Amino acid sequence: MFHLFRHTCNLAIDLGTANTLVYVPDRGIVLNEPSMLAFDIRNDKILAIGQDAKTMEGKTPPHIVIMRPMKDGVIADFKMTRAMLQHFIRKAAKRFRFLSPKVVIAVPFGITDVEKKAVRDSACHAGASKVTIILEPMAAALGAGLPVEKPIGSMVVDIGGGTTDVAVIVMTEIISGCCIRTAGDEMDGAIIQHVRQKHNLLIGPRTAEHIKQTIGCAYSFNGEQHAKIRGRELTGRRFLTTEISSEEIQEALTKTVETIVEAVMMTLENTPPDLADDIIERGILLTGGGALLKNLDYKIKEATGLPVALSDDALTTVAEGAGKALTTPHLLRKIAID
Ligand SMILES: Nc1ncnc2c1ncn2[C@@H]1O[C@H](COP(=O)(O)OP(=O)(O)OP(=O)(O)O)[C@@H](O)[C@H]1O
* Separation CA 281–CA 202 (nearest Å): 46
pLDDT tier, 4 (very low <50, low <70, confident <90, very high otherwise): very low
CB 78 within 8 A of CB 191: no
Instruction: Please indicate whether residue 162, judged by its CB atom, sits closer than 6 Å to ligand 1.
Output: yes
* Separation CA 288–CA 312 (nearest Å): 10
Instruction: Please indicate whether residue 213, judged by its CB atom, sits closer than 6 Å to ligand 1.
Output: yes
Shortest-distance atom of ligand 1 to CA 213: 3
pLDDT digits (tens, 9 = 90+) for 232-276: 888 877 888 999 999 999 999 999 999 999 999 999 999 999 999
Instruction: Please indicate whether residue 183, judged by its CB atom, sits closer than 6 Å to ligand 1.
Output: yes
CA of 34 relative to ligand 1 center, distance in Å = 10
CA of 290 relative to ligand 1 center, distance in Å = 4
**CB neighbour class for 114 (10 Å; exposed up to 12, middle 13-18, buried from 19):** exposed
Instruction: Please indicate whether residue 20, judged by its CB atom, sits closer than 6 Å to ligand 1.
Output: no
Instruction: Provide the residue type at 290 as one letter.
Output: G
pLDDT tier, 198 (very low <50, low <70, confident <90, very high otherwise): very high
- What does residue 310 show for φ and ψ, rounded to 5 degrees? -95, 130
pLDDT of residue 8: 53
Shortest-distance atom of ligand 1 to CA 165: 25
pLDDT of residue 240: 87
Other Cβ atoms within 10 Å of 95 Cβ, number:
13
pLDDT of residue 2: 37
CB proximity list for 209: less than 8 A, separation 6 or greater: 184, 188
Task: Give the SS3 label for residue 307.
Answer: coil
Nearest partner of 85 among 11, 186, 159, judged by Cα = 11
pLDDT tier, 109 (very low <50, low <70, confident <90, very high otherwise): confident
Shortest-distance atom of ligand 1 to CA 163: 26
Q: What is the rounded average pLDDT of the residues 57-63?
A: 90
pLDDT of residue 235: 81
Task: Give the SS3 label for residue 270.
Answer: coil
Instruction: Please indicate whether residue 289, judged by its CB atom, sits closer than 6 Å to ligand 1.
Output: yes
Positive or negative: CA dihedral 95, 51, 181, 281: positive
* Separation CA 269–CA 265 (nearest Å): 6
Where do the domains of the chain lie, and which CATH numbers do they carry?
A: 2-138+318-335 (3.30.420.40), 146-311 (3.30.420.40)
| DSSP-assigned beta bridge partners for residue 182 | none
CB proximity list for 244: less than 8 A, separation 6 or greater: 195, 199, 211, 215, 226, 227, 228, 229
